[in-house]
Amino acid sequence: MNAQPWISVVGIGEDGPAGLGEEARRRIAEAEVLAGGRRHLALVPPSEATRVPWGSPLEDSVRGLAAYRGRKVVVLASGDPSWFGVAKVVLRHFPREEVAVLPHVSAFQLAAARLGWAIEEVGTVSLHNMPATRLLRELAPGRRLLVLTSGPRMPATIADLLARHGHAAARVRVFGHLGGPRETMWEGETAEVAGQRFPILNLVALALPRETEATEDAAVLDLDDDAFEHDGNITKAEYRAAAIARLGPGPGRRLWDVGAGSGAMAITWLYRCGTGAATAIEKRPDRAVFIRRNAARLGTPELRLVEGEAPEALPAEEVPDAVFVGGGLATPGLLRACFERLAPGGRLVAHAVTMGGEQALYRMYEEVGGTLQRLSLSRAELRGDHLLWRPLAPVTQYAVTRR
């Protein structure tokens, strides 16, 4: 017999239960346990239901709902609980058949409607519990973005970030208390944001200019080799692009960057995925410092760093969709261990620049198949009055998909 949902994750707006549909209102009225943030719980009139305000960390609070199994539990959340919301966390801890999700109109949808923007053409970002630099990977000329923030000062921080990265001419709108009786909207240029006061609950809408200014900070967003701190141990940008194309980035997909060096591959992966995940595995402490600094400066705070030598350091609790091996190829069993940890359909890509590394790739090719190819390229370089080709060291690329 299939289990019946005993947890209902109900999206609610600033207008409270009055803005909900009949089914959502019924579940709230019949709830024996109401869980959620204090703001959400305050939107619901007093009842006999046990109230469970979220603590920190959220994961522990959600896991604690197991104590109420068998009772009617309603989790209150903002807007659409599955869009940067708590539904994802709940479903990590409870089977899908035990959870019902009832979405409400999200703040993203409300803001897009107010502005007349087609929601499918707009980037959506949440900066809750994230630094403003998380926005960097979303910046592109002419793009429109809707950004959920985490406090009244975040709009000014975002405006400063835009100006430093070539988007000073962006049009900024800040919405407060969307969908409720206290809804507000402020509009202006990036230079005007710092002097304004905004509600704690706000959403920032950005219309980026099609022509950007050339600034030193803007240049790093191209993720060229110079964008990263490194000691020379870095997969060059062109070879990185070739590897990323084979690895297949996408929303929600996880990469392992083994022998990460500067973390350039993992950071590039996160830029291409948008909402992906990456774990950098590096045995040298000095290079781990590079990874931390690069992740912080380039806006990838979610990059996980594991310090240790693979395969022993491979995270036991993770199942990657893609693995890139850029170092340590001579380590016995490394490639096979990475391959066997892949999710079905996952892809392994490895690069070798030495004869020893090539031998390891060839042995793996003989064991499990895949493809081998030699990549070489040259960059144009000005020497005096002459433009010459400067060849980069060739790379042998091995790629295989786990069936």
Three-state DSSP class for 155? Answer: helix
Q: Please provide the size of the chain in residues.
A: 403
CA distance 204 to 110: 12
Alpha helices in 136-180 (DSSP H): 154-164
CA distance 59 to 362: 44
- Could you tell me how far CA 333 lies from the centroid of its own chain? 31
pLDDT digits (tens, 9 = 90+) for 97-151: 999 999 999 999 999 999 999 999 999 999 998 999 999 999 999 999 999 998 8
Three-state DSSP class for 240? Answer: helix
For residue 262, give the nearest of 296, 233, 223 by alpha carbon. 233
Question: Which residue do the tokens 């950098």 mark?
Answer: 280
CA distance 345 to 366: 20
Q: How far is CA 35 from CA 25, 58, 101, 133, 177, in A?
A: 15, 11, 14, 31, 21
The model's confidence at residue 220, banded by pLDDT at 50, 70 and 90, is confident
CB–CB of 14/180 below 8 Å? Answer: yes
φ and ψ at residue 140, rounded to 5 degrees: -155, 145
pLDDT digits (tens, 9 = 90+) for 42-61: 999 999 999 999 999 999 99
Neighbours of 186 (CB within 10 A): 17
Q: How far is CA 51 from CA 107, 135, 302, in A?
A: 25, 35, 32
pLDDT digits (tens, 9 = 90+) for 282-323: 999 999 999 999 999 999 999 999 999 999 999 999 999 999
Alpha helices in 248-284 (DSSP H): 264-273
Q: What is the mean pLDDT of residues 365-393?
A: 95
Which CATH class name applies to 223-401?
Answer: alpha beta
Residue 221 has pLDDT above 90, yes or no: no
Residue 397 has pLDDT above 70, yes or no: yes
Ranges of each domain in the chain = 7-105, 108-217, 223-401
CB–CB of 142/176 below 8 Å? Answer: no
In this prediction, what percent of the chain has a pLDDT beyond 90? 93
pLDDT digits (tens, 9 = 90+) for 343-362: 999 999 999 999 999 999 99
Vertex 333: Cα angle to 328 and 337 (nearest 5): 95
Question: Which residue do the tokens 């995925």 mark?
Answer: 273
CA distance 25 to 44: 10
- What is the biggest distance separating any 2 CA atoms in the chain, rounded to whole angstroms? 83
For 7-105, CATH number out of 3.40.1010.10, 3.30.450.20, 3.40.50.1000, 3.20.20.80 equals 3.40.1010.10
Which CATH class name applies to 108-217?
Answer: alpha beta
